[in-house]
Amino acid sequence: MVELNTHVGTMSKDTHSMNSNMTQLSTDIGSMSEDMKKLNGNVTLMSRDLNVLTYNVAPTMKGMRDMMPWSP
């Protein structure tokens, strides 16, 4: 009977530990979700910047190269 009580006590501790780990995992997943939202926002802004570079700056640079071949 003592051995059974020991095993039940161990199971109880393990269950509490597992519950604590699941709570931490849930918190970490929430944090990761927020980080992904921020990353998505940054990628969207980067895409806009690349569009400006592609459609506004690049043609200007080509025109400058045609007039001044030594320019970068």
Tens of pLDDT, residue by residue over 3-16, are 888 888 899 999 99
- Tell me, what DSSP letter sits at residue 69? T
pLDDT single digits (tens) 13-39: 999 999 999 999 999 999 999 999 999
Alpha carbons 54 and 7: distance in angstroms, whole number: 67
CA 16, 19, 21, 27 torsion: positive or negative? negative
- pLDDT at residue 60 is higher than 80: no
- Give the residue-averaged pLDDT of 48-64: 79
* pTM of the full structure: 0.54
Residue 61 neighbours by CB under 8 Å, 6+ apart: 71, 72
